């Protein structure tokens, strides 16, 4: 099985070039919503499997599209070349004519596509338009890497909700916080940097108000040179308990911060939070009558363009999402230390095995990061 993110065990030429396109696509993750992050590489015939004449990836904000960017770089060299693209070229008139037309017009001889685009505006018509124009089109067999890369876009378009990736930092004895709550230093420095990278690749991060009150997290990407990569922060706070002094609210003027509350939440609290720069959105109450409805929250996020949602806590939210079967991916950062029997469990009211041993979830990545073990699971 392919476990590593970049373990492309030397396949054929097409897979090799597509791996390059996938790596390019990754550059856009977290910056292109509501559009997908696409990568494209144009390869002209030549010795050693060809020569790259153009590369492109979706620009921040979603335009220009990856193929267009690569075609501009390639110029005349695109004639007779092969285009490798991680998502079916578009067939609709947006701010520019369809990429499929531009590709055909440039004289590209063959297009290799990793994933077909379920966007109703495209939905097979990109491939059809290319074929009609006489271009050879090959859709590669599904690969896990390509599927995961496009999963946010595909989820938003086909399910009306973002792809949900849960992140849990768990001590060796299965705990997430010391007795009484509050932040716990579970992962090491290398894990911390990786978490910030994960944030950069998400469109939005969501936490519950319990975590906001206990940990007062900023949820920003604080990697050097990546300060502008902080995702939108989403706080589930049914009765608007988040203090205006909290780091989330205090920085809401600089980084978009959406607070989802219940329909009946206090209007004075709402005003105070709004004055700090946060957006307050009222959502239907969940089935349990307590918090806001998770499906409604996700639906609203998708409507607002979020494709990739990272969930950073805490145990109550993680547990509720698992209960509702709304977790697509879970990453467990296992630290070497212990927090003791009285500390707080990673999942409220159930053992961590309810996730890690669940037949619904399959591990796909296991890595040592500093002294920590990262394991990622995917909903099968």
Residue 305 Cβ vs ligand AOF, minimum distance, rounded to whole Å: 10
CA 345, 351, 356, 360 torsion: positive or negative? Answer: negative
* Binding interface with ligand AOF (CB under 6 A): 32, 35-36, 38, 58, 62-63, 65-67, 87, 90, 94-95, 99, 117, 119, 122
Q: Which is nearer to ligand AOF, 107 or 120 (CB)?
A: 120
Are residues 240 and 248 in contact, defined by beta-carbon separation less than 8 angstroms? no
Q: Is 74 annotated as a binding residue?
A: no
Radius of gyration of the chain (CA): 22
Q: Contacting Zn ion (CB under 5 A), which of 65, 175, 194, 196?
A: 65
Q: Is 217 annotated as a binding residue?
A: no
Are residues 112 and 83 in contact, defined by beta-carbon separation less than 8 angstroms? yes
21: how many CB neighbours lie within 10 A of its CB? 30
Residue 123 Cβ vs ligand AOF, minimum distance, rounded to whole Å: 9
Residue 39 Cβ vs ligand AOF, minimum distance, rounded to whole Å: 8
Between CA 148 and CA 28 the distance in angstroms is: 14
Instruction: Name the E strands within 171-256.
Output: 175-177, 204-208, 232-236
Q: Could you say which of ligand AOF, Zn ion, none residue 36 binds, taking C-beta under 5 to 8 angstroms by partner kind?
A: ligand AOF
Q: Could you say which of Zn ion, ligand AOF, none residue 119 binds, taking C-beta under 5 to 8 angstroms by partner kind?
A: ligand AOF
Are residues 16 and 377 in contact, defined by beta-carbon separation less than 8 angstroms? no
Q: Could you say which of ligand AOF, Zn ion, none residue 66 binds, taking C-beta under 5 to 8 angstroms by partner kind?
A: ligand AOF
Among the options 13, 67, 189, 267, which is catalytic?
A: 67
Residue 39 Cβ vs Zn ion, minimum distance, rounded to whole Å: 13
Are residues 339 and 184 in contact, defined by beta-carbon separation less than 8 angstroms? yes
Q: Which is nearer to ligand AOF, 71 or 209 (CB)?
A: 71
Q: Is 99 annotated as a binding residue?
A: yes
Q: Could you say which of Zn ion, ligand AOF, none residue 117 binds, taking C-beta under 5 to 8 angstroms by partner kind?
A: ligand AOF
Q: Is 65 annotated as a binding residue?
A: yes
Cβ neighbours for 33, distance < 8 A, ≥ 6 positions apart: 62, 152, 203, 305, 306, 307, 308
Q: Which is nearer to ligand AOF, 33 or 352 (CB)?
A: 33
Active site residue 67: yes
Q: Is 312 annotated as a binding residue?
A: yes
Q: Which stretch binds Zn ion (CB under 5 A): 48-56, 59-67, 181-189, 299-307?
A: 59-67
Q: Please report whether residue 153 would count as binding Zn ion according to CB under 5 A.
A: no
Residues 69-128 that bind Zn ion (CB under 5 A): 90, 99
Q: Could you say which of Zn ion, ligand AOF, none residue 94 binds, taking C-beta under 5 to 8 angstroms by partner kind?
A: ligand AOF
Q: Is 318 annotated as a binding residue?
A: yes
CA dist list (Å): 176 to 171, 220, 352, 356? 6, 20, 11, 15
Query: Could you tell me the two tokens for 337?
Result: 């230390």
Between CA 174 and CA 161 the distance in angstroms is: 30
DSSP assignment of 252-319: TTTS-EEEEEETT--HHHHHHHHHTT-EEEEEPBPTTSSSB-HHHHHHHHHHTT--EEEEEE-HHHHH
Q: Which is nearer to Zn ion, 74 or 248 (CB)?
A: 74
Residue 281 Cβ vs ligand AOF, minimum distance, rounded to whole Å: 24
Phi, psi of 131 (to 5 degrees): -65, -40
Residue 101 Cβ vs ligand AOF, minimum distance, rounded to whole Å: 13
Q: Is 34 annotated as a binding residue?
A: no
Which parts of this chain interact with Zn ion (CB under 5 A)? 65, 90, 99
What is the set of active-site residues? 67
């Amino acid at each position: 099985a392919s476990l590593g993110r970049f373990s492309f065990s030397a396949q054929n030429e097409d897979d090799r070039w597509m791996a390059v396109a996938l790596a390019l696509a990754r550059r856009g993750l977290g910056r292109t919503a509501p559009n997908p992050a696409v990568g494209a590489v144009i390869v002209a015939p030549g010795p050693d499997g060809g020569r790259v004449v153009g590369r492109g990836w979706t620009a921040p904000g979603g335009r220009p599209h990856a193929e267009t960017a690569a075609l501009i770089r390639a110029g005349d060299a695109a004639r007779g070349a092969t285009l490798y693209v991680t998502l079916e070229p578009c067939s609709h008139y947006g701010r520019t004519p369809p990429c499929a037309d531009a590709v055909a017009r440039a004289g590209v001889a063959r297009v290799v596509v990793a994933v077909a685009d379920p966007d109703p505006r495209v939905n097979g018509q990109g491939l059809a338009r290319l074929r009609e124009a006489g271009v050879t089109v090959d859709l590669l067999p599904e690969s896990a890497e390509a599927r995961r890369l496009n999963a946010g876009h595909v989820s938003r378009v086909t399910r009306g909700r973002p792809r949900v990736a849960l992140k849990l930092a768990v001590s060796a004895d299965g705990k997430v916080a010391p007795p009484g709550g509050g932040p716990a230093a579970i992962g090491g420095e290398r894990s911390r940097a990786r978490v910030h990278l994960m944030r950069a690749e998400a469109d939005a991060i969501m936490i519950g108000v319990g975590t906001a009150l206990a940990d007062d997290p900023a949820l920003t990407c604080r990697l050097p040179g990546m300060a502008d990569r902080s995702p939108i922060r989403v706080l589930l706070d049914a009765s608007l308990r988040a203090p205006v002094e909290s780091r989330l609210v205090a920085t809401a003027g600089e980084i978009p911060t959406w607070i989802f509350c219940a329909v009946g939440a206090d209007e004075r609290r709402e005003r105070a939070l709004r004055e700090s720069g946060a957006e307050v959105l009222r959502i239907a109450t969940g089935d349990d009558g307590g918090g806001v409805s998770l499906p409604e929250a996700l639906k609203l996020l998708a409507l607002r363009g979020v494709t990739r949602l990272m969930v950073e806590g805490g145990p109550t939210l993680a547990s509720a999402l698992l209960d509702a079967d709304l977790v697509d991916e879970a990453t467990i950062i296992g630290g070497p230390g212990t927090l003791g029997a009285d500390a707080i469990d990673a999942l409220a009211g159930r053992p961590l095995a309810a996730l890690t041993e669940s037949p619904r979830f399959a591990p796909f990545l296991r890595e040592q990061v500093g002294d920590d073990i990262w394991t990622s699971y995917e909903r099968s």
